[in-house]
Amino acid sequence: MQIPTALTQHPSDIAELLALPSFLSVLRQIEVATGQRFEALSATDQQAVVVARLAQLVAICRLNPLWRERIEAALPTGQISALADFEAIPVTDKETFRTMFTGDRPGMVVPIDSNGFMIVASGGTSSGMPSETVYPLDELQETYRWAGAFMGRHITDQHLPGLGPKWFATTLADYQMWSSGTMVGGVLQSIPGVNYIGAGPMNREVFQHMMSYPGPKGLMGITGSIALLPSFSEGLSQEARASLHIAMFGSGTLSEKVRADIVAAYPNAKILSYFAATQAETIGLQLDPDQQVLTVIPGLHLVEILDEDSRGVQVGAEGELVVTRLFGNAAPCLRYKVGDRVRRLEDRTVDGLTAMQFEFVGRSGDFIHLGDTQYSAQRARTALVEEFNRRKLMDLDTVAIDLQFQVERSAKRFTVVMSCDQPELQTAILAAALDTAGSQPVIMAALVRSLSIFNSLEANEASLVRSGFRFGMRIVAPHAPELHRTPVGKVPLLVDRI
């Protein structure tokens, strides 16, 4: 296909950079010229546009001394003619990212004193220091419009039926420079034909007031907020319950128990996932309620899934998620390592949509260290559920609201903390099912089972015994203090205390 002239312009100074057409305007131009939405173009045509945009972004980054040094050390010519050229540029890890965009922000191409930027903080790096993202406000608004329109076509048009008012709310809220409510809200309020509610944290009364609005509704929140929906349904009319059509969660996974309870309380609810990071808004969206598959919005980001040698993985393999925002001239970041592990899936090529797909595996840091062996926390969770089922002890997926591994290295203690309804009853049921050895051999067997997926031959139950760790399980109520939560209410799968 013909690449628009605007994408071939490589600025030689800031003035030329500021005069460039926005990438959104280029995508619109392509859609007019081809008579198709960008997402409907072939993978080959989409990639040609993305490579041209990457070449332009590299030229933009080379206006900055730090970026120029990083680029030219790996790619002396600085020229991008194929995706392989771009892949030669080093991945930007979180520490490098923090150095570039925090403090004096030396990684910005357009200096911060030009104004017109938005600063957003994320959780914290391995050093314990927060990292900040710098978004040019005008370019950020364009990402909202592009992503919001995509959600309209592929989510709300499909799942918010009928005529009359339609609603989409989020429980995310902004504070302490965390701007999740603004970022996600910016996308949700850009969905065509939908009324937006920036609800923030809701109690039952506020939720039920919102549910009294006539018309179908969608709600987006962190997993902890979405898990409250079944208890919030008490006292709602059948009509109000039936009006919730989308329950969308971000960050982490939603247990089978919570999923079943939501559907029981809200018969029309479709449970979907919204995958994002502060540094890369709307990386993937679950479009099909029956498949936990995340679809990339074509044109918004270049999404790479890389192995240990920073090479792209094949379909079916898992790797590190690396993202480059395609929208953004003033403060671009090339090849940002988000900190999540995902599995590459076959591209989606149906219903006029050609797009990359992947499946969330877990946080990159979610590895359990026991002795000399590392265990994937996400795989350990899966193996624990399987081991409990194999021994006919308890179906954890249908009982557990949350499962959390708490590792105390100095005390050499490994505890599985499970929250559920009626914890005393479930504790008694499990105690009766276990033999005198208790839960320790079950947990150890599950850890070994999880290693088989890793094709590891280095560890077995004997090595776990040699590690000196004691293994146990504690069953608690959903909001018990024993279950560790982050300051924003998330329940991490792994809590690793040195």
pLDDT at 452 over 70: no
Cβ(324)–Cβ(334) below 8 Å = yes
pLDDT at 125 over 50: no
Rg for the chain, CA atoms, rounded:
24
Q: pLDDT tens digit string along 433-450? A: 998 778 999 999 999 888
Residue range 303-328: average pLDDT?
94
For residue 179, what pLDDT is reported?
A: 77
pLDDT at 107 over 90: yes
Q: Which of 472, 465, 433 is nearest to 448 (CA)?
A: 465
Distance from C-alpha of 394 to C-alpha of 274, rounded to nearest angstrom:
30
For residue 486, what pLDDT is reported?
A: 73
For residue 459, what pLDDT is reported?
A: 57
Helices (H), 400-479: 423-433, 440-453, 461-466
- Residue 241's CB is within 10 A of a number of other CB atoms, namely 16
pLDDT at 454 over 60: no
Give the confidence band of 139 by pLDDT, cuts at 50, 70, 90: very high
Quick check: is 39 in a domain? no
For residue 456, what pLDDT is reported?
A: 47
For residue 453, what pLDDT is reported?
A: 45
Domain count, the chain: 1
Residue range 100-125: average pLDDT?
86
Angle at 406 between CA 402 and CA 412, to 5 degrees: 155
Quick check: is 324 in a domain? no
Residue ranges making up the domain that contains 374: 367-497
Amino acid at the residue 114: S
The larger pLDDT score, comparing residue 348 to residue 281, is at 348
Average confidence score pLDDT of the chain: 90
Quick check: is 491 in a domain? yes
Quick check: is 447 in a domain? yes
Give the confidence band of 215 by pLDDT, cuts at 50, 70, 90: very high
Beta strands 494-497; 402-408: pairing state: parallel
For residue 343, what pLDDT is reported?
A: 93
Which residues partner with 170 through β-bridges? 198, 220
Quote the pTM value. 0.84
Quick check: is 388 in a domain? yes
Helix (H, G, I), strand (E, B), or coil: what is residue 472? strand
Q: pLDDT tens digit string along 379-393? A: 899 899 999 999 999
Q: pLDDT tens digit string along 41-86? A: 999 999 999 999 999 999 999 999 999 999 999 999 889 999 999 9
Quick check: is 223 in a domain? no
Distance from C-alpha of 22 to C-alpha of 327, rounded to nearest angstrom:
8
Quick check: is 128 in a domain? no
What are φ and ψ of residue 464, in 5° steps? -70, -35
For residue 463, give Cα distances in angstroms to 457, 466, 469: 11, 5, 10
Quick check: is 457 in a domain? yes
Q: What is the DSSP string of 68-80?
A: HHHHHHH-TT---
For residue 124, what pLDDT is reported?
A: 45
Residue range 401-424: average pLDDT?
91
Residues 6+ apart with CB under 8 A from 282: 143, 147, 187, 274, 275, 276, 297, 300
Helix, strand, coil content of the chain in percent (nearest 5): 35, 25, 40
